[in-house]
Structure 1
Amino acid sequence: MHFAYVKMASPGMHAGRHILNNSLRFLNNLEQTCLRRNIAWTASALQKIAVASEGSSDEIVIPRKKTWSKEAVLQALASTVKRDPTAAHYMFQDDPYLTPRTSGEFKLYSLSQESGKGAAKYFINSNPKFFQKDFAEPHIPCLMPETFQLQIEEVSEAALVERILLRKVKAAVDMYDQLVQSGTTLPLDLTNDLLDLICLYGDQDPKTDDSDPEQKTEEVEEVQDDPRKRKGRLRRASDFIKVIWRENNNAERIFNLMPERDSRSYGALVQGMVKHGAYSKAFNVYTDLQNNRLTADVNTFNALISAAPELREKYAEKWELILELLKQMAEQKVRPNLLTFNAVLKALRRCGSMARSQSLLIIGEMKALGITPSLASYDHILGIFFKAAASSQGHTEILQDVLNEISGKSFEPQDPDDVMFFLNAMRVCLDHKDLEQAYRVHSLLQVGDNWRLMGDSYQQSVYYGRFFNLLCMMEQIDVVLKWYKELIPSLYYPNSQGMRDLLQALDTDGRLDLIPQIWKDIKQLGHDNKVDLVEEMLSLMAREKQSPEVQQSFAQCALDVKRRYIPNDFGKSVLEWTANSLGSITSVLLAAQERQQAWEMLKLFKASNRVPTDALMEDFLSSIKEVQDADQAVELVQLAATYCLPVTPTLIERVEQEFELTKDHKATLSSLEFSSDDSK
């Protein structure tokens, strides 16, 4: 076979010529080797070589230089590493000694870590003079202390700009008043910047991590004094303090003092009123904007659309108001953005059943305008079709259609509500027992950086809790245990209900032999003080007889549980005895032939003011019969008579028939039988 030489299009392209020469040299060597070894060329190989030879005569185009980001190497290395399910969460890697083992410790550690960051930030920003030296290589500006102290004291526009940049709302308003009183004419853009700041924070200084600690202490005391505010998950004190739009506040006052106003001035006031609950006033300001023949921007319309459901009671009236705003946007040639459509979808969630048909049209309109829906868009769709109160009547195919649309895609945060999609999608899967769609939701979570859109630690815990609950109900136990090792505790600290779901899954598939191993995890996760969980585990172990090996492991587990009921040196115990817990532990010990331990448990009934069941006493007598211990059998009957159990005559009859009794035994039984007859 003959290979033609390649004619270079440009004699100056040495790199391209060198590559082609090496390629042709390799093909020539390959041909000679095949001829020496009598290897026949296939038709496909000949075709590929011919194409390579023909293409060699074309001009070589050297690609442009690729510009890599500064994090490209780190991202490439990170892509080669998988998560270790046996390791702690990445947020705890700095201090392995304090790695939490329970859900309570996880919450405490997380809050402590955030509190420590806030305290360090406050100290650095309050005392920047002590942190002037920068030893970091390379220099990282975001890690350097920020300047929050006012540097300009004189009355000037520069001082006002400084206060606006530092988000000093009250100081900025005071400086504005001084400038106006001195007769200074301020630029419209600067006044609008001040108006934006006031409307954003509701005419109050923002509550940040580096704000006044005394003020935060007062807020915490206010929350602690009100028991209603302590319910639910742990939050910052500032989360409970809702800023309300006050009548004639500084925003309205400055707006009325402005010699001229543009659409941005009206838009800032409208958005501030909507943000802080003054919905009717926001629409009044929007009417003034129209009367002045100004055009609102897209952010102003977004705020009005989100406030529309608050002004109407009937579903049809709410939708009519939204349509009117959309028509005005079209008339004023204001192009909607993603947040516009998301605001419409969110408002439709409060428009009843009519929202289902309209929401699909909204999604179609978004795509027609070239706007890609975000996760918040799909979350609103799920919220419209899957109401929590009537989840069983939802259209399950909608979830499948949504997942068909977004499977395999990586999303970036574009809307604050993006973090609610995975949480609510898993809720829909759990309500409808749809394991297949749950797997698809979880696989979407693994694509790219979608895991960053799960929300805070509380939302992540709820998501994994719903996923694990669904697995326990619908999946085989081997698969459940696989996910159990994958998720716990590196990603999810299950609550007591999650462990109960796991116990029920073990019961369903007949794998109760794993209960002692699960008990170790229950102790490690800090749920060994949950009465319902412990009693359910004991009842499962006591329900059926297992193999001798399993029964011995059950007995050791039951004795370990027993220690939780024994008072410590201070006279307090983790759990308090109940009839169910006493009976279950006794039954487990009897099944394992631990009669002495079971007898001690039987005596605890009287000390705990509990009464054993008839079935337990009969089982105990059957266990005593195996060793023919007449003394203990008679003592058992005496104990049953002490509790006045209905099964006492039956026990007396069985002892008389099944045991070799002495005269003293018979006399004792006769007296017990006589006393039982008198009691009747």
Structure 2
Amino acid sequence: MHRLGIIIPRRGAATASATKKIVIQPKIKRGPTELLEALAATVGPDPTAPHFAFIDDPATIPSQAATKRNYLLAKELGRRAARGLAEEWPTLFAFDREVPRLDVFRPQKTLDPALMEPTESKLDELIEARRVEDAAMLFEKMRGDNVEVSAKAQRKLFLLLTYYGGKNPPTFENIEWHALRVFGVDQPEWKADLIELLYETLEKDAEIKSAMICGFSKYKAGDAKALSIFKEMQAAKEVPHIEAYNSLIASLKPNQSGELLKSMADNKLQPNVDTFNSLLVALKKSFHAEAGPIKKIKEFSRVLGEMKQLKIQPTLHTYAIILSAFYSPPPMERDTKTPDTGKSADKAAGITALAEFLQVLEKAAKVELHGIHDHTFFTIAMKICQDCGNVDMANRVLSLYTDARNEVKMPAFTYENSFYESYLLLNIETAVSLDELEKVYKKFVPNYVGISRWLVYRMLNKLRDQDHWNLSRRLIEDSINAQHLEVASIAGRLRGLLIGLDFTALSPFQREEFTMLVRKMVDVWIEYSRFKDERKKRKLTFSTVIESALLLTRIGDDAKALDLLQLLFDESATTGEEASVDTAGFVHDRRLVELFDHALRQKNVEMATVVLELMSRFFSKAQLQYQASRLSERCGLNKDQTRIIEGFIRLRPQ
């Protein structure tokens, strides 16, 4: 009974626990998005998110900007092809019965305007959908069938055609297909036939004439025609729309801007921020190459003063136009004949202007988006910081861009890649500590910045004078992933970087990493040399073989090093259509001496004699005799072996 009392609780205890009340807390009233907002505030935005679009298979994650472009476009074009198949043959999916039904998997084929009923309602649908070319085709069909089109519909069609130049909307306006929006390039084109027909047909009021002026200016279809229409409106006492003035100011000669501004004042037309942006563009074009920063600052300050007086807030595009006047690309990106007069003064003026703009933006409650060119402010600002070597200012620009208050974002993989690349290159040039540089490099590569050859060269220059295994290993691995080992200049410098490292100073774990990395690099070069495709094939050069063998001896793989050296004497590897080794070339004497010294230390006579024969291509007889005496002494050669080596040296041509 005592034992059962332990296992079975007493009746009184069970009753007490049963009578305990459970209090249910009242429901907390929350909005439909409060939980999502709380999660967003906790997690925060992930600026590397675009890079994760590539992570389907680790083997296919791209490391270069061009590869990212091709990968993203391939994925998107594959989806477009699948949608095209579903649109063309919908009966193939007729027996699918998914619940709930997903319309995204049942795309409807866009009806050809040639098969549409020629009615004004159909025309309105095409105009609302911004199917510019289809709307133009249907309108032509309606004209051919003598279907009457109201003046209102013709006006809407005319405004659509002038805005897009008679072509479909450009790819950067594409909402659904992100890759085409980012990487698509559309040449501006003006299809004048139907536009001019509608212009002659419609009643030419201020709106129609202003739209025509904007179209001519936007697509560079005829500045003289745009100015002629403007003068007609002036003669008829008509007031052009503000957009017409803005287009003319930006497209005409700078000395004509004053007349246009005076006309706006006479018509009591209030300028907007686009007016002043157009004026700044005109001012920038008016500056000659010899124009100094003082003149530029004076003109720009006058415009900014007018904006302040009219209580018009400058946009990021306003600041970008001003900064671009003080920035000139480095010599590699422009004509080297361009004079550099006043470049230092422009640098100082540019960084000063940037500091003032940042002071304003950092105090703003929100950095709002006003136009498609606003994001150029960040790229130009970072270029100026890089040009001036100002890391503190670059950190302020980066902080502003990543701030939650900033609503202006650059297109990923294009402008954003350039922005972060400039920031990284600036840190490479100015970094004092390689530990700090390692943090910056690992943060931005490859998620933000692709592994370009230019970046690898910059990093190699930085690592040339200081040993830093972790950063060197990461750079080499990134170069392998980006397929830069096929570039002879990069491959040679990477081998030199590893040869220059103090192997004895590495920890046991780092030595293991060193060993694996060397074997991987050598395997890559051997694989390149065996490609059947001549375009991809990269033969093993003399320097590649010697330096690779030297690295293999560092990790204790003398057998593979010897096999690699003997390829230089293998006729099947050096001659014929399938040759994988090119014996021509040059290697520094010290590499051969290091390899020879290693063979002597290991008393490896076979390797030493092979290296001695390779030395005979570059060394004098006196140098060879000295090395031969070392070989005989260290390895204890007998008289016959010594006589053979001496005979080889004696018969060698001087």
TM-score range, shorter chain: 0.7 to 0.9
**Once the 2 structures are TM-superposed, how far is the Cα of residue 204 of structure 1 from its aligned partner?**
4.3
Q: Partner of 1:402 in structure 2?
A: 357
Read off the aligned partner of 1:302 and give its amino acid letter. N
* SS in structure 1 at match of 2:258: helix
Residue number in structure 2 paired with 1:306: 250
C-alpha change, 1:402 and 1:579, in structure 2 (3 Å) is farther
Give 2:227's aligned residue.
Answer: 283
Specify the SS of the correspondent of 2:375: helix
- The match for 2:299 is 358
- CA deviations on 1:563-613 (whole Å, 9 max, x unpaired) are 112247764676432333333323333445544443333334444314554
1:648 aligns with 2:624: yes
2:137 alignment partner in structure 1: 171
Partner of 2:417: 461
Moved more, 651-660 or 299-308: 651-660
SS of residue in 2 equivalent to 1:561 = helix
Q: Which residue of 2 aligns with 1:39?
A: none
Secondary structure, aligned partner of 1:600: helix
Contact 1:270 1:300 in 2 (8 A): yes
**Structure-2 separation of matches of 1:150 and 1:632:** 78
Cα shift at 1:330: 1.4
Displacement of 1:355 in angstroms is 4.2
Q: Residues 526 and 540 of structure 2 are in contact (CA less than 8 Å); yes or no, is this contact kept in structure 1?
A: no
- What is the CA-CA distance between 1:480 and the residue it aligns to? 2.1
What SS does the aligned partner of 1:416 have? coil
CA distance in structure 1 between the partners assigned to 2:593 and 2:51 by the alignment: 51
For residue 377 of structure 1, the aligned residue among 318, 326, 332 is 318
SS in 1 for 2:124: helix
Does 2:100 correspond to 1:100? no
Q: What RMSD, in angstroms, separates the aligned Cα atoms of the two structures?
A: 4.2
CA–CA distance in 1 between the matches of 2:54 and 2:633? 66
Question: What is the rounded CA distance, in whole Å, between the counterparts of 1:583 and 1:513 in structure 2?
Answer: 25
- Tell me if the contact between 1:160 and 1:176 (Cα under 8 Å) persists in the aligned partners: no
Alignment of 1:212-611 (within 5 A): 235-236=183-184, 239-244=185-190, 246=192, 249-258=193-202, 260-277=203-220, 278-309=222-253, 318=254, 320-352=255-287, 353=291, 354-388=295-329, 390=340, 392=344, 393-394=346-347, 395=349, 396-407=351-362, 409=364, 410-448=366-404, 450=406, 452-475=408-431, 476-512=433-469, 514-547=471-504, 549=506, 553-567=513-527, 571=532, 575-592=538-555, 594-606=557-569, 607=574, 608=581, 609-610=583-584, 611=586
* One-letter amino acid matched to 2:61: P
1:74 aligns with 2:31: no
How far is 1:400 from its partner?
A: 1.7
Counterpart CA distance in 2 for 1:360 and 1:124 is 58
Distance apart, 1:626 and its partner CA: 2.4
Which amino acid in 2 is paired with 1:343?
A: S
| 3-state SS in 2 of match to 1:349 | helix
Aligned: 1:623 with 2:623: no
Q: Does the CA contact (< 8 Å) of 2:166 and 2:195 recur in 1?
A: yes
Counterpart CA distance in 1 for 2:198 and 2:296 is 40
2:3 match: none
Q: Which residue of 1 aligns with 2:645?
A: 669
Q: Do 1:382 and 1:425's aligned partners in 2 also have CA atoms closer than 8 Å?
A: yes
Secondary structure class of the residue paired with 2:233:
helix
Residues 459, 128 of structure 1: CA spacing in aligned structure 2 closer, same or farther, 3 A cutoff?
Answer: farther
Counterpart for residue 64 of structure 1:
none
Alignment gaps of 5+ in structure 2: 1-28, 175-179, 331-339, 575-580
Contact (CA 8 Å) 1:169, 1:198: kept in 2 or not? no
Q: Which residue of 2 aligns with 1:89?
A: 51
TM-score for the superposition, normalised by structure 1: 0.72
Q: Is 1:109 matched up with 2:71?
A: yes
Q: Could you tell me which residue of structure 1 aligns to residue 159 of structure 2?
A: 196
Distance of aligned partners of 1:203 and 1:648 in 2 relative to their CA distance in 1, 3 Å threshold: same
Q: How far apart are residue 296 of structure 1 and its match?
A: 0.6
Counterparts of 1:294 and 1:155, CA distance in 2: 36
1:97, CA displacement in angstroms? Answer: 7.3
Task: Report the Cα distance in structure 2 between the residues aligned to 1:194 and 1:134, rounded to whole angstroms.
Answer: 41
Task: Tell me the CA shift for residue 436 of structure 1.
Answer: 1.2
Given residue 332 of structure 1, which amino acid in structure 2 is its aligned partner?
Answer: N
- Once residues 639 and 154 of structure 1 are traced to their aligned partners in structure 2, the CA distance between those partners, rounded to angstroms, is 83
Gap change, CA 1:291 and 1:121, over 3 Å in 2: farther
Answer whether contact 1:641 1:672 (CA < 8 A) is retained. no
Following TM superposition, by how much is the alpha carbon of 1:381 offset from its aligned partner in structure 2, in angstroms? 1.1
Identity %: 21
The answer on whether the counterparts of 1:366 and 1:372 sit within 8 Å (CA) in structure 2 is yes
Q: Retained in 1: the 8 A contact 2:284–2:325? A: yes
Per-residue Cα deviation, 1:301-338 (whole angstroms, up to 9, x for no partner): 111112114xxxxxxxx2x2112211211111111112
- After the TM superposition, which of the residue ranges 501-510 and 401-410 deviates more from structure 2? 501-510
Separation in 1, partners of 2:209, 2:257: 20
- Contact 2:50/2:412 (<8 A) preserved: no
Q: For structure 1, list consecutive stretches of 5 or more residues without a partner in the other structure.
A: 1-66, 212-219, 221-232, 310-317
**What is the CA–CA distance in structure 2 between the aligned matches of 1:210 and 1:429, rounded to whole Å?**
31
Q: Which amino acid aligns with 1:401?
A: E
Cα 1:559–1:140 shift into 2, 3 Å: closer
Change (3 A) 1:111 1:639: closer
Change (3 A) 1:119 1:291: farther
Give distance in 1, aligned partners of 2:562 and 2:139.
80
CA distance 1:335–1:119, change in 2 (3 Å): farther
CA–CA distance in structure 1, aligned partners of residues 182 and 404 of structure 2: 30
Distance apart, 1:520 and its partner CA: 3.1
Deviation at 1:287, TM superposition (A): 0.9
Cα displacement (A) at 1:379: 0.9
Asked if the contact 2:83–2:107 (Cα under 8 Å) also holds between the matched residues in 1, the reply is: no
> Does 626-635 or 197-206 show the bigger shift?
626-635
2: CA distance, partners of 1:234 / 1:162: 27
SS in 2 for 1:453: coil
CA contact (8 A) 1:345 1:381 kept: yes
**Deviation readout 1:314-365 (Å, 9 max, x if unpaired):** xxxx2x2112211211111111112111222223232223544212222222
TM-score using structure 2 length: 0.75
